[in-house]
Structure 1
Amino acid sequence: MKRVSFAEFGGPDVLQLVAAEEPHAGPGQVRIAVRAAGVNPVDWRIREGQFQRVHPIELPAGVGQDASGVVDEVGEGVEGIAVGDRVFGEGTHTYAEFAVLSAWARMPERLTFQEAAGYPSVVETALRILREVGVRSGQTLLVSGASGGVGSAVLQIARDRGIATIGTAGAANQDYLRGLGALATTYGAGWAERVRQLGRVDAALDLAGSGVIRELVELTGDPRKVLSIADLGAPEFGVRFSGVAGSVPEALAEAVDLISRGRLHIPVEKSYPLAEAATAHAESQAGHTRGRRVLTV
C-alpha cells in the first residue's frame, strides 16, 4: 500500500508518499480502507519533533490519527461491527490507503467520508478541554483561535450546553464565528480590550498558541480558569497544558449524538490527495483555517 511517512524531523518537505506493508487489525481493533484522513496540528507538531522529549517515536514514522473509511478487517474480540461498515475513528498512521483504528463509530448517514474524517480527535479534544477548564451553563467562555476544527467544535458544544462564548479569529472568519453562536472579535493589537468590551469572561481556552496566555489570565483573573492545547509554555503562567487524550469512544458517541441532532457541523475547508500531504501541513501551519483540512484516498 501507499502511506505518508517521514524519516527525519523537519518541515513539511520531509513528508514522502512511500510504499509500505499493510497493517492488520489486532485484538480490539478494526482495519479500514481509508477514504479520508483528518489533518490535525498535532500531526505537524509530531513531524517537527516537538513532542520527542515526552512521547518519543522511532523514525521512519507514519503520520495521522483520524480517519474515515470502510471496515475490511475485524480484530479478535470486536463485536457490533462488520466488514463493509462505514466508520470514522482514531488510530495510527492514518495518512495511508489502509489504517488500523483503536476507537471508532458508525458514520452518521448525513456525513461524507471527508466530513467524517474531521471529527474524531477534534471532538475528543473539545469535550476534554471544556470539562477540564470547568466552565458551566450560564457562564461565558473565551476561545482564542476559535475558527479551526477544535474551536468550531467547542463553540457548538458550548452553545448546546448553555454556555455563552466569545471567539477570536482573523477578520475573514468573524461572520463564521457569529454563525456558530459566538460573539466575535479579531486578534492582533488591542484584542484583549476588545474582548473586555464584549463582556465578562469566566474561563478561557488557548487553541492557537499565539502568545496570549498572560492576557487570558488577566481577563479571567485566575490562571486555573485558563487552559491551553497549543502553548507548551503555559505552565510558566500557572496555566494547565492539556495534551493527554481522554476516552475517544465516548467522544465519538457524543459526536454522533450531536451530529444526529443537528447541533454540530464542522466544515471541510479544503481536501488534498495523499501525495499533497506536505501542502496540507504547510497550509495548516499557516493558520486562518475555517473548520478542517483532510486528505483523501
Structure 2
Amino acid sequence: MTTLLIAEHNSSTLSSATLCALTAAQAIGNDIHVLVVGKNVESVADEAASLAGVAKVLCANADVYEYALAEPMGDLVVHLAANYSHIIAPSNSESKDFMPRVAALLDVGQVSDICAVLSAEQFKRPIYAGNAIATVTALDATKVITVRASSFDKNIKQNDQKCPVETIDFVAESVLSSWQSDDITESTRPDLSSASRIVSGGRGVGSSENFALVEALADKLGAAVGASRAAVDAGFVSNDLQVGQTGKIVAPDLYMAFGISGAIQHLAGMKDSKVIVAVNKDEDAPIFQVADYGLVGDLFAVLPEMTSKL
C-alpha cells in the first residue's frame, strides 16, 4: 500500500502544514509519495525529495494548476488515484475545495480533519466544535483524508540522498471555474497559521484603534496577531486574523488572549496551544477553563504594563 500526500506550498517552499501531514502519513505505515502541484514548482519538488520518509515525489507543473482550483486538482488526483490506498492533504482552504471533489469522483467517503492515526483504517477527528473526539473507521478501498496540522508534530528530518522526482505530464482541463484575482494582505509579522507565539484580542478590546495595544505586545514578542470572531465581526481587524472553528486552527507554543470570553467556536481553534495565557475582567469567562495562566483584570492596564516590561 502507498499513500499520496498532496503538498501545500507557496510555489517556493513547503508549508509547515505539509511537514505535519507527513508525520500523519508516516503513522499510517505505507510508502509515501508526495504530489507537488502548481506552476514553476520545481524547487518545491526538490525540497520535498529531501524529506525523510518520502519514497518518491510527483511534480505536476502546468499553468492550469497555478491556483489549485477544485476541477483541475480533482481531475489530476483522480487520474493518479488507482496507485494509492490513501490520499491525504493538510486541511486548508484549498484542500477543503478539491478533496471533497476527489472523494465524490472516486465514490468514497472523506475523513476530514483527523487529529490522530490509530491504524491504516482508523482515525480520530474532532466533532461538535472540538468538544468530542470521534473514532472513525474508513472501509473504502481508497481513503481520502485531510489532516489537522496542529495535531501533529512537524517532520523536519531530511535524508542525505534525495528520492526520485517524477514529472507528471497529465494536464487537466478546467471548464467550470477560473481564477479571477487574489486579495492578499502583506504583513511583516509571522504567519498566523504557523506562528510559535500568538497574541489575540476579542470583543473586550473595544475598537480597531485599541487593537494597537495587542499589536504592540505582539511586536515585542515577535508574535502573530489573532482575533476572535466577535472582534472580526465588529470590524476591529480583518477576517484573515480570525482564530476559531470558522477561522484558523492554531496550536502555538504560546497563545495570549486579551478580552476574549472563550466561546466554543474560538476554543476549538486554539485550545491545543502548549501554553495559554488569558486576561479578562470577567472571572467567570470560559477562557479561564482552558488557560494555563489566567489574570482577572483590565486589559487596558495589563497590556501596556506587559509591553513596557518586555
TM-score for the superposition, normalised by structure 2 = 0.27
TM-score for the superposition, normalised by structure 1 = 0.28
- Based on CA coordinates, which of the two structures has the bigger radius of gyration? 2
